[in-house]
Structure 1
Amino acid sequence: MKTYYNGTLIGSKSVSSAPLEEGGVITLGRIGSNNWTPPIFGGQLMKLDIFGKVLSSEEIADIYNAGRCSDVEKKHQEVRFVTWESILSQDRTGNVTEVDSGCPAEEEEEEDEKDDCECTHSIWDILYDQTYFNQTLTTEKLTELKSTWNMLEHFVGTLITENIVSHYKVFHPMPAENEVKEYGDCECTHSIWDMLNDHTYFNQTLTEEKLTELNANWNMLDYFVGTPITENIIAYFKAYHPMPAEEDDSS
């Protein structure tokens, strides 16, 4: 374990470690979650992230030097398993008070009008297919997933149009994307290619950088090779690593 202050290493200690199990609880600001009175943290927290790897001294210094209002931590998005944004969205207990960080507020997008029937699309729904769901994720299966976006290499430098999206839906359907799922009184179908309808890609030129960003999604699954793909794992990715267009609703 290493401790940094203002981006500088100030101490280290050898500690034992074990893999985290599913279904646990992360408690911030106190020790444990039982009814007994534990020590309470009386300071302030900001930009707390839990990464799936040990950051180097240089990476720690970059985060500190960029300032607390930056989003430099998103450079490590594929291993940012618990994000500060997701922590802020959780329920809180006790005497927790929000204070002004002094950072510019992000512009809130206006909510689109919603129809009576709502279908949500998530890139992670592909993991519900029988090929993956409740099956051990193997290197071969993950390689197959990663090869999905490689087909887009032929369109680098081209505008992503409705015709291109339709082409992939018709001629390159992925497992589970045409499976009908029930959401209340609605029946919805999902396509991994719906992600291309997001404003980040749709009617925009597909660049090498954007394609690399798409490929980085599957790289996060590297840490789950050898593990059964369960409901909890899929829910984790949907909650903490939503991708563009996932929260778009259509009837």
Structure 2
Amino acid sequence: MRYYADGALLGTLQTPGSAIPSGHSFTLGNHATYLHSSYAFGGEMFQLNIYAKELSGEEIKRMADAGMCSTKEDENEDVRVLKWEDIVKKTRTGTVTEFIPDQCVEEVERRMDLLAECQQSLEESEQTLKETVKKKEIIEQTLNQTQTKLNSTELQLENVSTNLNRIADNLQTTLKQLKKCNQTSQSWDWDLFSLDIYVNTTISSEVAEQLRSSWDNIAEMMIGFTITDQFITFLKHIDTDECSEERPWTMLHTKRYLNKVFTREDANSLITMWDEISGSLVGVKMTRETVKLLKYITKNCTD
């Protein structure tokens, strides 16, 4: 057996070469069988380790140079079979006092400070983790709400798409109506409704019928005559029909008729111009703003 102090070989001792058997108790500081104060170890033990091989002088020297307070990993860790950190956890008998070697106090205090810092860092990390988890829950809740809104929006988009298809169908119908409108709108004389008898009056079924049939009896009489202001005045004078007061004479003052020879085509147009639109006017209050709007619509329809 070789024994060292501070990494230096002090001497050797001849001992039997028997191995430590397994399956038995291992006792430090007293007799394994006869525990007695006379056998008690009265010194100090620190960092006692047993290895499964004989360490070389160089290995022991490096171990001593590192110091008994070293935190470096044991280079022979793979063959360290009995470890000091395990020994201090075992059952103790008698008087055993834990101590810190004087040369290790500073290192232990440094480690305790480091441990305190680690503990504080751990607590802060735990708090951060709790806050992060809370934020995650809020984000998940927000995502769920967003998903719900997206689902609702998707449904709304489907409804909008359905409405757009319906509008497209209506537009097609409107286009057909506009084509028809384009063929007849040039005949409508909306200035008629600027007369005092119509302004701020709601068009009734009777009035609509008068519009539709107002020229039935007199249009034929005007064929071949030039429509002048004097002729229009003459017609009003000789017109004894019960509808003469409501007859829209102002239409004859438009560019289409005034100072032109009244033809068969003009007569037919005058007779039929309100046939398709008069029914649509029932219930409409003819204000001056309404007349302007009808003129605008007719103009754009024609264009």
Q: TM-score range by the shorter chain?
A: 0.3 to 0.5
Q: Which has the larger radius of gyration?
A: 2
Q: TM-score, normalised by structure 1?
A: 0.40
The structure with the largest helix share of the pair is 2
Q: TM-score, normalised by structure 2?
A: 0.34
The structure with the largest strand share of the pair is 1
